[in-house]
Structure 1
């Protein structure tokens, strides 16, 4: 099968941005992509360093224009599309950073970003309420896919959760513009692929928004950490790669990291175990 990441510049006009995104999803489907990932909150400009109450005007419901396009494209092409929106919840004043997975036009998963930064010019805690559930793995009929969102790539526990639930593909929609993070961006994503023996798809935006310059680097990674495809530099486009899903099971047998885990020793990681006391 083929996996595709959409790289996109978000303009001021939501409708125009969605139209460009639709064209890229259509292009990916025409090239045979089975799973297509859109960037984090792809249809609107992302948050700036200073909190801005006017930014809430960008929020939309789960059935708003962004997800409507993703659902329609998923249905029309018979593919899986992972969308990402600034979600206005049913409760007034509560908002989420949300990813939705559509399979053949049906919304199979709603994952709300559970780890939110307030650092490096991304004051997300001001805008979003964190989600309360772990990433959900969706059976697409051909494989199993899970999603974590941007900042959450810094927390290996989340991608491991996807692997433990049988995920073979990890989708990571991002809005990454931090210069220090650019140096380790692909290193982290390759590590997720290797530690969990899975394919990783990452979709970023590109271009200048306010004081930020998004650096792209949208790509597909193989379970050995190899870069299988990258989007064009500084432009709208696709990273699309043909993959052999049988590799996942084969590599998990050859490198049985999941088998050899010792969760009973990891209590401090989950917070279920207190820190050790100093021995006399």
Structure 2
């Protein structure tokens, strides 16, 4: 059985601890683009963070002032968190403990004035999908329209006038009780705007999730909220550029990427993929990863020759936001629960489209023709 090792807290803290200010500023410029100014955090939020032991960061993405358009300001929030109780605890107890924890973090987001908030992938439960056990994990599955976590989140949406993206394990009661990995979008009035089901299901090492659910059937929906147009690219979909592309084609201004991924598997890719998508598609991206190590009662194997184990490794947090100009915030901690708040001027999306001309120069007609040919069974690659 693997043993837990001490975890590196964050790249940003390491740089700040060891680089002189001048060199630190230059390194951050190269790593993160232009400097994103911090926003002040009010006393109430600081009190909640200290009392309930979570990190809080807040930043401001500014756009150029225009003569004919007023700024389109929206505050978004990302929450990363560990499970609260051991995976051996009763299902209801685990569920209630997570509700209590998330209620506190959402309260802190509300005190910062957040308009749209996104939780991490399958926030209502441990990330048990790679154990390949059906019980008790399937008991966490619920209706995307009236499940217990939906009712819980609806009340908070109304209370705080906040749109919340709530990723859950969905049980589709209308179609044979099939399970899906789903993100539910709940409006600031408490109504379920709709849902998106995970398009791409991993089959990599421990992360072989098709035991529980298959590829989603909801396409690439964009949700028109009171505060802006948002979309959700769930976890493994971030590895597929076409997935990001289609949310942009459909008009997204902010794309959330709620995830659950561990250091040994994907961390070198983490800071690149969502940032690259923001640049290529001229929208804001929000990468969200859970944090902590979740230990399960039964050993399981990966089918890759490695010894049996009871955990997937360390979920490394590091949630961040990127602007369409490529500038990005530092990441949250690799080891602590956290709330990241970012104030966005959505005018920056159009300004970057005009500046770089990616929409002007892309060739959707060419891609569509080539992709259609590639899906034919007799396709011959264009190799000369």
TM range (shorter): over 0.9
Q: CA RMSD in A?
A: 1.8
Paired residues, number: 279
SS of 1:227 mapped into structure 2: coil
What corresponds to 2:329 in structure 1?
228
CA pair 79-48 structure 1, distance change in 2 beyond 3 A: closer
For residues 147 and 200 of structure 2, the distance between their equivalents in structure 1, rounded to whole angstroms, comes to 24
Residue aligning to 1:257: 358
How far did residue 44 of structure 1 move?
Answer: 0.2
- Indicate how the Cα distance of structure 1 residues 203 and 216 shifts in structure 2: closer, same or farther if over 3 A, else same: same
Q: Say yes or no: does 1:86 pair with 2:169.
A: yes
In the other structure, the counterpart of 1:7 is: 80
- Deviation string for 1:124-174 (max 9, x for gaps)? 111013211212111112311011100000111121111111111001111
Between the aligned partners of 1:112 and 1:166, the Cα distance in structure 2 is 18
Q: Which residue of 1 aligns with 2:140?
A: 58
Contact 2:116 2:227 in 1 (8 A): no
1:75 is the counterpart of 2:148: no
- When residues 30 and 263 of structure 1 are mapped into structure 2, their CA distance, relative to the original with a 3 A threshold, is same
- 2:7 aligns with none
Q: Which residue of 2 aligns with 1:129?
A: 214
Deviations along 1:254-279, one digit per CA (max 9) or x if unpaired, are: 11212211122223445456333666
Any idea what the Cα deviations from partners look like across 1:176-229, whole Å, max 9, x if unmatched?
Answer: 115231011111111011101111112211001121211101111111222225
**Residues 227, 59 of structure 1: alpha-carbon distance in 2 compared, 3 angstrom cutoff:** same
String of CA shifts for 1:45-65, please: whole Å, max 9, x gaps: 012544112121221222222
Larger RCO: 1 or 2 (CA < 8 Å, sep 6+)? 2
* DSSP 3-state at the match of 1:239: strand
Unaligned segments of structure 2, at least 5 residues = 1-73, 86-93, 296-310
Equivalent positions of 1:135-154 (< 5 A) are: 135-154=220-239
Match of 1:157?
Answer: 242
Q: Is the CA contact (8 Å cut-off) linking 2:254 and 2:286 kept in structure 1?
A: yes
Q: Could you tell me whether the CA contact under 8 Å between 1:217 and 1:231 is conserved in 2? A: yes
Contact 1:229 1:239 in 2 (8 A): no
TM-score normalised by L of structure 1: 0.93
**Distance in 2 between residues matched to 1:153 and 1:236, nearest whole Å:** 22
Matches within 5 A, 1:1-280: 1-12=74-85, 13-47=94-128, 49-54=130-135, 55-62=137-144, 63-90=146-173, 91-104=175-188, 105-210=190-295, 211-212=311-312, 213-266=314-367, 267-269=369-371, 271-272=374-375, 274-276=379-381
Cα distance in structure 2, aligned partners of 1:229 and 1:136? 29
Q: Secondary structure at the match of 1:209?
A: coil
Measured in 1, the distance between the counterparts of 2:351 and 2:257 equals: 23
Deviation for aligned residue 1:92 = 4.0
- Where 1:33 maps in the other structure, the secondary structure is coil
Other structure's SS at 2:361 match: coil
Q: 3-state SS of the aligned residue for 1:44? A: coil
Structure 1 or 2, whichever has the larger Rg, is: 2
Distance 2:229 2:160 in 1: 19
Q: Higher mean Cα deviation, 115-124 or 81-90? A: 115-124
Q: Which moved more, 1:60-69 or 1:83-92?
A: 60-69
Does the 8 Å CA contact 2:255/2:283 hold for their aligned counterparts? yes
Partners of 1:108 and 1:49 in 2: how far apart? Answer: 30
